[in-house]
């Protein structure tokens, strides 16, 4: 039995009815919408869900619809910031062509836009070839996400937990320093830097690359944690993480759409629409929840959850490796 990294949907009817496919689409939509933004790893949860549901076929078109759902959620929540960034882009291009651009005189929106550009540059590392394998770095995501073992997912979830713990510790330390400084000088404490610098953007960008390769390593959790470790303000780090993820979501959906067109998949329309709507609605509330939890420095529940799940998955993976059987479905690996 092979498991896929992305969301499943049967393309050949067989014994499945439309209602069963819609139910499966709802489950995958909830998993995608919640875990895409909460710091618990969407790729890891979707891979685990498919593994334990015993699903063997995947639909690339269904993946695209789920990505579009989560994209709609983040655009809706950050619509005002995105609009400001678009206006900043227009003015930035104008100043570059007229020679008026000055690095030191960038306003917050223009600074964020430029730092997003540098944060996206490391993604090109994913297309580097791995000598002697005939594969690119990005291909390992599919390799580890489509094998019959869930060991990588378990270890990556544990790595997510460690990053969240370090991020929480650093954020609390930064807040305590700000409070002591404010107490000496008077006024309200300013917790962390609100502006990203070039090293910050590159560090977060490289972290996003790791999250793209290892199913189970949360993109939002790892990039947020690295931002906090760099001394960035909690809300600024979260906003940067979410907006940085928009091009990644668009790119993933675009590549899968091209593959789906080449494969000429024939799938039912109802599960596609239902999966997209569910992922959008759940994703919207997941972003709202995470923004509230980050503002109150409540990352520990996510760290505990990913640690417990990671340990359980590693144990199950070891048991399955010894027995050669899926512990839930009873099917051979």
Number of C-beta neighbours around residue 247 at 10 A:
14
Closest CA to 218 of 167, 284, 182, 282: 167
Asked if residue 8 belongs to a domain, the reply is no
Are 81 and 208 within 8 A, CB to CB? no
Confidence (pLDDT) at 10: 45
Asked if residue 241 belongs to a domain, the reply is yes
Number of C-beta neighbours around residue 58 at 10 A:
22
Element (H, E) at 135: strand 135-136
Closest CA to 156 of 245, 19, 294, 45: 45
What count of Cα atoms within 13 Å lies in the side-chain half-sphere of residue 187? 7
Whole-angstrom distance, CA of residue 25 vs CA of residue 62: 9
Asked if residue 50 belongs to a domain, the reply is yes
Confidence (pLDDT) at 6: 42
Closest CA to 237 of 299, 297, 195: 195
Look up the domain containing 284 and give its range. Answer: 18-323
Confidence (pLDDT) at 118: 96
Confidence (pLDDT) at 265: 63
> Each residue of 47-97: pLDDT tens digit?
888 788 776 555 667 878 888 899 999 999 999 999 999 999 999 999 989
Confidence (pLDDT) at 101: 84
Alpha helices, H only, 215-299 = 219-229, 234-263, 269-295
Asked if residue 272 belongs to a domain, the reply is yes
State the pTM of this model.
0.85
Query: Encoding tokens for residue 257?
Result: 């759409």
Asked if residue 4 belongs to a domain, the reply is no
Asked if residue 191 belongs to a domain, the reply is yes
Asked if residue 332 belongs to a domain, the reply is no
Confidence (pLDDT) at 163: 97
Confidence (pLDDT) at 57: 52
Asked if residue 194 belongs to a domain, the reply is yes
Average pLDDT for consecutive 10-residue bins of the chain (333 residues)?
43 60 85 87 84 69 84 93 94 90 86 94 92 89 84 96 95 85 73 90 95 93 96 93 88 76 71 90 93 87 96 96 90 86
DSSP output for 76-132 = HHTHHHHHHHHHHHHHHHHHHHHT---GGG--HHHHHHHHHHHHHGGGGGGGSEETT
Instruction: Count how many domains the chain has.
Output: 1
Confidence (pLDDT) at 56: 56
């Amino acid at each position: 039995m092979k498991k896929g990294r992305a969301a499943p949907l049967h393309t050949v009817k067989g014994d499945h009815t439309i209602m069963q496919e819609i139910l499966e689409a709802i489950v995958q939509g909830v998993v995608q919408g919640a875990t895409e933004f909460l710091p618990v790893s969407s790729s890891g949860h979707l891979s685990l869900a498919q593994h334990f549901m015993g699903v063997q076929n995947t639909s690339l078109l269904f993946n695209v619809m789920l990505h579009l759902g989560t994209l709609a959620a983040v655009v809706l929540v950050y619509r005002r910031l995105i609009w400001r960034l678009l206006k900043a882009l227009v003015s930035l291009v104008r100043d570059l062509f007229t020679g008026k651009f000055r690095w030191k005189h960038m306003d917050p929106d223009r600074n964020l836009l430029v730092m997003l550009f540098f944060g996206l540059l490391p993604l090109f590392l994913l297309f580097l070839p791995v000598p002697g394998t005939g594969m690119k770095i990005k291909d390992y995501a599919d390799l580890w996400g489509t094998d019959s073992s869930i060991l990588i997912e378990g270890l990556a979830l544990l790595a997510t937990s460690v990053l969240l713990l370090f991020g929480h510790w650093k954020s609390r330390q930064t807040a305590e320093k700000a409070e002591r400084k404010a107490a000496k000088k008077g006024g309200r404490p300013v917790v962390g830097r609100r502006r990203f610098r070039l090293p910050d953007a590159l560090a977060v960008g490289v972290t996003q690359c790791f999250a793209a390769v290892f199913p189970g390593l949360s993109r939002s959790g790892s990039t947020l944690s690295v931002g906090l470790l760099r001394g960035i303000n909690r809300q600024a780090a979260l906003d940067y993480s979410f907006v940085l993820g928009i091009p990644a979501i668009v790119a993933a959906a675009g590549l899968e759409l091209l593959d789906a067109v080449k494969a000429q998949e024939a799938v039912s329309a109802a599960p596609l629409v239902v999966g997209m709507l569910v992922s959008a609605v759940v994703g919207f509330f997941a972003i709202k929840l995470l923004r509230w939890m980050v503002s109150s420095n409540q990352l520990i529940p996510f760290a505990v959850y990913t640690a417990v799940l990671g340990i359980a998955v590693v144990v199950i993976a070891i048991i399955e490796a010894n027995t050669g059987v899926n512990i839930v479905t009873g099917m051979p690996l």
